[in-house]
Structure formats: C-alpha cells, structure tokens
Amino acid sequence: MTILALENVCQHYSIKKAGWWRANSHVLKAVDGVSLEIHQGETVAVVGESGCGKSTLGRVASLLETPTSGTVIFNEVTTEGLHGQALRHLRRQLGLVFQDPYSAMNPRLPIGELVGEPLAAHNIGNKETRHKKVLEALEAVGLGEDVINRYPHEFSGGQRQRICIARALVLDPELIIADEPLSALDVSVQSQILNLFVELKRTRNLAILFISHDMAVVNYLADTIVVMYLGKVVEQAPRASFFSHAAHPYSQALLAAVPKLGAGKRKRGLALQGDVPSPINPPSGCAFHPRCNKATDKCRTIEPVSNAFNNNETHRVACHYPDESVITASAYSEVSE
C-alpha cells in the first residue's frame, strides 16, 4: 500500500534583488521535479550534501508547504487544493521529528503537555484519554510516567529526542518524517535513537521518510535510498543494490567519503571538489558536471533523465555515463561495518 507519492514535485522560491529600484527577481529551485513513493512499513532515506533540497522536500511531504507544481498524494488523496478540515485530517496521519529536539519544544510546558499537544490541537479525546495516550507514547520510546511533570531542560539530548518521537507517535500516524534526527546528538546516543526507529518500524509497521547525510546510518535503517543533488534525484535504488552498485558519480563520492579504519581503503579520485552550486543559478546540462571527473561536453549541455540501471527498474540513475566499476561489493561491506 502506497502511503505517500510525490509526482514531479517542484518547490521554487522567488528571491528579490536588494533595493526598491531592482524589480527583477531570481528563482531558487530548492526542489525541481522529484518523484518518489513510500509504502507501508518502508523506510525511504533521502541523502545528500547540505543545500541539496532534502529538507525542503521533507516540508513538502509533511504538508507544511504547498509545492509550486507537481502532485502530493497521501493515502490515495491528492492534496492539491485541500484546506481547512480536510487538510487537518491528513496531517493527523503524519508525525514529524526535527533535527534539534530542544528547539522543537516549548521550554515552559511540562513533558505531558508537550507530548499531548497534537491531541489537543486536533481536539481528540478528553483529559483522561489524552493522558492515557501520552503515557502509551512515552512508554513506546522507553520513558515512564515519572517524566510527565518535568520540563525539557531537565533532560539530555537523547531523552529530548525520545520525547519528540513520542509526540510524533501520539496520534498513531501512518508516516513519520524525520529530518536529520540524529545529527544534534552524541554518537553513543545516536545508536540508541536509531535502534528506537528500527523497533518502532517493526512493531508499528510505520512508513518512514528519513532525511540524513550519514551513509552508515541510512545503510542500517533504510529500505530505499534516494540521492538528491541541487534539487533533483540523481539516483534511487534499494539499499543492497545501492551500496553494492552505486552508479552515479555523486553517489560514489558520498560512499567514498564514509570514514573507514585501516590504510588504503579510501577510494582515490572520488573526493568531491568545490561546493554545491547555487540553486539560483544552476549549471547547464547535468548540474553535477562542474564537480565530476567523468564529465564530457554532453554532460555540460544536455540534462540527463532517470533511467533503469542494468535493466533494473527499481534502481534508477540520472547520468549519461553511469558506472558500477568503482564502488563494488567489497566497498559495501566496508560501509556496513
């Protein structure tokens, strides 16, 4: 069952030049023609460097922003034109987990009220039933009743993120959208929260859209990998296929950048050069060509389309010259370790 489908979604922002006399404006293409599907019980990880558009894609998928164009379908309901009660009904089926748990909380509210906020916002149940739901959500993330009268500043970063996950679960959503939920945490705490996501997925059959830049994390958690670069999807594949046969030069560079113990394991010639170009003025042709050591004149003038890699429709690559010879099964085992 498809929980969420994005069809050719674009999210563009108009950036006006400074000064009242400058009437012209630029268009920032944060997301530019992205299509993907998330099925029940599936975890889709969106990866890429900062500025690639993955967080903007998350806001569109979570119905916090209306896309400039394209279609968002949630539980077979097209969201275009929805507003008021109809939109609120769909949002009840979504749970959001943000990067910084402390910023996502009102420091003046006790934990019981914070976790119960979605129930109150959607006018669900009475005081007694809400209290019961809050306790169930806290128990699901490994916290007890003793925390409900305490305040956010009394908890560690990992505990705060557990509280935020409990708040996302309190409405019994079908889809969790997590935007870099581990990056603000210590490494030892990251593993605990990651295992919590795995357990919640197993016990609740949740669909998860997991936004991250950490390849080792998505290798552990995700079923499908979506690689974004400058607002576009450059590669999409099942986890095993991606980590054994990453075909886009950008995907290969991301995998090669994963720290590895021991000498001689880092792949030479794959290190990324320069920064992500401005989405206000993207390069012509393939947007990655200024940083790609395989770029040709064709790459500089013609934009690649997403095609099946090695006749595998579930593994698609937007590259004129996809290559599986650099990242091999041995590299996959190194990343897994």
The 10 Å CB-count burial string (b at 16+, else e) for 150-173 is eebeebebbbbbbbbbbbbbbbeb
Residue 264 predicted with pLDDT over 90: no
Angle between helices 127-140 and 111-121 (to 10 degrees): 120
Instruction: Please tell me whether residue 268 adopts helix, strand or coil conformation.
Output: coil
Structural domains in the chain, CATH included, are 2-16+24-93+206-336 (3.40.50.300)
Q: Are 205 and 175 in contact (CB under 8 A)?
A: no
What confidence tier does 166 reach under pLDDT thresholds 50, 70, 90? very high
Instruction: Fill in the amino acid letter for 237.
Output: A
pLDDT of residue 26: 83
Rounded mean pLDDT, 107-122: 94
Residue of 327, 334, 91, 94 lying closest to 227 (CA atoms): 327
CB atoms within 10 A of CB 195: 12
Token pair belonging to 231? 């607002």
pLDDT of residue 24: 64
Instruction: Please tell me whether residue 21 adopts helix, strand or coil conformation.
Output: coil
Rounded mean pLDDT, 255-283: 72
Instruction: Give CB contacts under 8 A, 24+ apart, made by 253-257.
Output: 254/47, 254/48, 254/215, 254/227, 255/215, 255/327, 255/331, 255/335, 256/327, 256/331, 257/215
Residue of 191, 312, 176 lying closest to 244 (CA atoms): 312
Per-residue pLDDT of 276-304, as tens digits, reads 888 888 899 999 999 998 899 999 999 99
